[in-house]
């Protein structure tokens, strides 16, 4: 009788939650996160994201006793740091807006439309850089191999049409951004293109993104 009650209690309680790496949706990940090689690779890839600044310690006279330094955040594991909201400013602002975080009062205004518009601006800018043959700057910590040409015929008529379309598209986007306000282009360049977190520019960024979104709405309606 006791064993039957114990089995019934276990059935009601359900299976215990498996301790494993999970995807953002909560499902157990089937990737090889348990492999030491994969774990070391992801720790190295997310190392910069997991760094936090420790303020210097001062003595009674106000002099620096212990200088400030960077250290790895123990509360941010590598499997969490690989998510977009920990590497992209626009995704971090949208994540904070979606979850209504109290420490991000201004991020509550960064909607899904703003995120989609910012991502499309990034794509249009990359297409413009490809059309203008602008070289991409590389960080001193970037160990990835250098990219080459795409192998396409530079004199192909379809490529010329694509490049002209990318140039004209970026001109129209830039025109709308400049019309949105005096700091619109600065906000787009700093936050969207350079991926730098400047919360004071979120208002100007929203105005610029709204102007670009209206441009695309007019094109769809035409």
Give the start-to-end residue ranges of the domains of the chain.
Answer: 29-82, 84-135+154-222
pTM above 0.85, yes or no: no
Percentage of the chain lying above the pLDDT 90 cut: 25
72, containing H or E segment = strand 69-72
Using CA atoms of 119, 121, 122, 128 in order, give the dihedral in degrees to the nearest 10: 150
DSSP bridge partners of 69: 54
| Interior angle at CA 162, CA 160 and CA 165, nearest 5 | 110
How big is the chain by its Cα radius of gyration, in Å? 24
Q: Model confidence over 192-212: pLDDT tens digits? A: 999 888 888 988 999 999 999
Residue range 53-97, pLDDT digits in tens: 888 888 888 888 888 888 888 888 888 888 888 888 898 888 888
Q: Which long-range contacts (CB under 8 A, 24 or more apart) does 24-29 make?
A: 24/83
Concatenated DSSP letters of 27-59: PBP-S-TTSHHHHHHHHHHTTTTTEEEEPPEE-
Confidence of residue 21 (pLDDT cuts 50, 70, 90): low
pLDDT tens track for 138-181:
555 555 555 545 556 667 778 888 889 999 999 999 999 999 99
DSSP state of 22: B
Position 172 scores a pLDDT of: 95
**By C-alpha distance, which of 93, 195, 168 is closest to 187?**
195
């Amino acid at each position: 009788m006791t064993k039957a009650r114990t089995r019934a209690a276990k059935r009601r309680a359900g299976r215990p939650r498996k301790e494993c790496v999970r995807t953002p949706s909560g499902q157990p990940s089937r990737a090889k996160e348990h492999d030491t090689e994969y774990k070391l690779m992801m720790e190295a890839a997310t190392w910069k994201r997991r760094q936090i600044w420790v303020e210097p310690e001062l003595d009674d006279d106000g002099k620096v006793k212990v200088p400030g330094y960077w250290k790895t955040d123990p509360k941010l594991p590598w499997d969490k740091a690989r998510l977009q909201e920990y590497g992209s400013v626009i995704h971090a602002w949208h994540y904070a807006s979606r979850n209504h975080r109290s420490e991000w009062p201004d991020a509550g205004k960064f909607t899904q439309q703003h995120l989609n518009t910012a991502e499309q601006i990034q794509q249009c800018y990359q297409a413009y850089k490809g059309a203008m043959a602008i070289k991409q700057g590389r960080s001193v910590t970037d160990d990835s191999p250098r990219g080459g040409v795409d192998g396409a015929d530079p004199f192909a008529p379809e490529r010329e049409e694509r490049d002209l379309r990318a140039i004209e598209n970026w001109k129209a986007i830039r025109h709308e951004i400049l019309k949105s306000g005096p700091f619109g282009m600065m906000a787009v360049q700093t936050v969207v293109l350079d991926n730098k977190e400047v919360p004071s520019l979120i208002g100007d960024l929203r105005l610029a993104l709204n102007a670009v979104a209206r441009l695309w709405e007019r094109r769809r309606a035409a």
